Chains A and B, each alone.
Chain A
């Protein structure tokens, strides 16, 4: 065992550069147990709630569905299914606003709940170790599980990569201010999370899992400490409080001292990470056959009367969720999906809760000041000090404003995890992350355009070639036809038949004679006319 591995085993905690300590404000929401939410009347289910292509629709308007019934099929390109959150009828399938910062519409299935909440029959498993890896992965995929921590990458897809693994890391850090969904889940369902972790270990063919929790969650830590004695494959790691220690690359650095290569994946260095919520969902899917139809959502901020964590069915409109929690909107109220650092403001409250929604934040204008006007950069360097990815945010900002995309790539823009630490400390109130997001989108777009231009060129050239070929073929055909005609003629003449050439000559001669006769007749007439 190498020195580094020994240190990992011994529970050494490394550190990562930069980071900030924003007010945590978790106590607003983490005091009460996770409460169930009363059923809504309508649910809006976007067909795409994960990163990947949407699955194909399996239902039609008017169909009756039960809770847990699959609505879209597992498809190509990481297609994941979505399931009905409750029983009812499909009222509409069409464009609706989705949980995306753009506020744009995508295909949404609307279910009108009948209030009976009938579930489809589940198929529990007694011993998952009897199933093959592929069968277990299918079970996870069919349950529609995507990373519940944020990005929404299909979990089965991540596990399907067969590469040697040193550790599975279960991320319970939850470093973003305000959010306490994972905290409460760990306090109340530590055993299920452990079960899920063991299933993940089994599927990944990995020996050891590290469960990481931030030091500000003593109850969650205690819950795991009480259980881990019976699970030698699992080890607990308490990481110091710093934002963004829950970032994938940052947490890996904290627990193993390893650095994920630029544009690389954790699996490149023998690691794979899953969120605690995902581990919970995996346990539910594999052991009980439960598809992903609900998740824990933190509702918090000073403008709700009953902040806390709720079991929310996917597809629940945010407006309904807030109404249940005693929403007291102030004028120009902002509603943020996600936390204050990485979340985005909703354009409309009809947006539903989806697989990646961990928090709905309704701050008062005192607690979270609205965006200020941007001022000029004073080159203080504060942003570079806090950047966990060791980038130069100020430099990136200049380059992004100048649209110098090559420069941005050279400065490793794509290593930016959009944590917002730089914007948080910037005294000039520059919305730095927005510039990076826009620049990233533009760079991706340019790449897409370029690929499209390449295809267009190929198609154009193929067409030119085809036209040229067709022209040659036409000419060839004409030439052949002419030759064949000539040959036939020659043969006819040789056999003593009329030479068609002679016939033509004869016809011309006849025509000439007729013309001459006509001319003569006309002259004759003229003469007669003169005479008369």
Chain B
């Protein structure tokens, strides 16, 4: 008898908790997978596709599903390390099949050669190019992520990728340079 009572009690409890959990799952549903968001937040958002996916978020999803973490050249080693930390796996060097880590670059349109075809605008994933049909185009330098995607479509090859200039405010104390440089005497 007691066994039956116990069974009934636990059965009812299980049902109640099941209902509560079921309700909570529906009511408090998380829209997207938080791990994908966390990975996406680490990726450089260059949207260049060098990883073999059509943008950073698809690659983030792929990583969440077990893809390698070393396929993003713009992010470089620091991104790989951060991903390794997050995913709890060993950091490894960048997979050179996807490209090499390079200095940061920014696109510059040689404006007198631009024919105003708008092809680069269509290619730019972050709308960093300003222009209109048959008008000169220009790159909004601080919005450009340096993804390189606008270079190829340009029919007159007037887009150059130039390294981001070093200014005193983004200068990285160069240890080689600092230990007290010697000034040649001028007189």
**Which among B47, B170, B173, B182 is the interface contact of A456 at CB below 8 angstroms?**
B47
Interface size on A, residues (CB 8 A): 48
A441 adjacent to chain B (CB < 8 Å) = yes
Interface 0/1 of A254-286, CB less than 8 Å to B: 000000000000000000000000000000000
CB of A323 within 8 A of CB of B187, answer yes
Contact B127 A463 (CB under 8 A): yes
Let me know if B136 is at the binding interface, CB within 8 A.
Answer: no
A104 and B175 contact, CB distance less than 8 A: no
The answer to whether B145 has its CB under 8 Å from any CB of chain A is yes
Instruction: Say whether B180 contacts A101, CB under 8 Å.
Output: no
Distance between B53 CB and nearest chain A CB, rounded to angstroms: 13
Q: Please give the distance in Å from A350's CB to the nearest CB on chain B.
A: 9
Bound-state CA distance A431–B177 (Å) is 12
Interface check A449, CB cutoff 8 A: yes
Kindly count the residue-residue contacts between A and B in the assembled complex, taking CB atoms under 8 Å apart: 107
B122–chain A nearest beta-carbon distance, Å: 10
Is B153 on the interface with A (CB-CB < 8 A)? Answer: no
Q: A98-B168, A323-B187 are in contact. Are A460 and B125 (CB under 8 A)?
A: yes
Rounded to whole Å, the gap between the CB of B101 and the closest CB of chain A is 14
Residue of chain A at shortest CB distance from B125:
A460
Shortest beta-carbon distance from B186 to chain A in Å:
6
Give the interface segment out of B8-16, B28-36, B38-46, B154-162.
B38-46
Query: A340 to chain B: closest CB distance in Å?
Result: 10
Q: How far, in whole Å, are A457 and B127 apart by their CA atoms in the complex?
A: 11
Partner of B126, one of A403, A437, A449, A463: A463
The closest CB in chain B to the CB of A446 belongs to B78
A456 to B181 alpha-carbon distance, docked (Å)? 39
| Distance to closest chain A CB from B22 (angstroms) | 33
* B5–chain A nearest beta-carbon distance, Å: 55
B185 touches A459 (CB 8 A): no
Residue pair A431, B173 in contact (C-beta under 8 Å): no
- Which of A6-14, A143-151, A168-176, A324-332 binds B? A324-332
What separation, in Å, do the CA atoms of A345 and B183 have in the docked complex?
8
Alpha-carbon distance between A457 and B55 when the two chains are bound, in angstroms: 10
- Say whether A348 contacts B183, CB under 8 Å: yes
B182 touches which one: A98, A319, A327, A332 (CB < 8 A)? A332
Q: B168, A329: Cβ atoms under 8 Å? A: no
* Contact of A395 with B by CB under 8 A: no
Q: Which of A331, A441, A454 contacts B171 (CB 8 A)?
A: A441
Given contacts A333-B182, A457-B40, contact A435 B126 (CB under 8 A): no
23 contacts between A and B (CB under 8 A): A101-B178, A104-B166, A104-B167, A104-B168, A332-B182, A334-B180, A334-B183, A345-B180, A345-B181, A348-B183, A370-B180, A431-B179, A434-B175, A434-B178, A442-B172, A445-B172, A446-B78, A453-B44, A456-B45, A457-B40, A459-B126, A462-B127, A463-B125
Q: A100-B171, A102-B171, A319-B186 are in contact. List 18 more A-B contacts (CB 8 A).
A: A101-B178, A102-B174, A104-B166, A329-B185, A330-B185, A333-B185, A344-B178, A345-B180, A370-B182, A441-B171, A441-B173, A446-B78, A448-B170, A454-B45, A457-B40, A459-B128, A460-B45, A463-B126
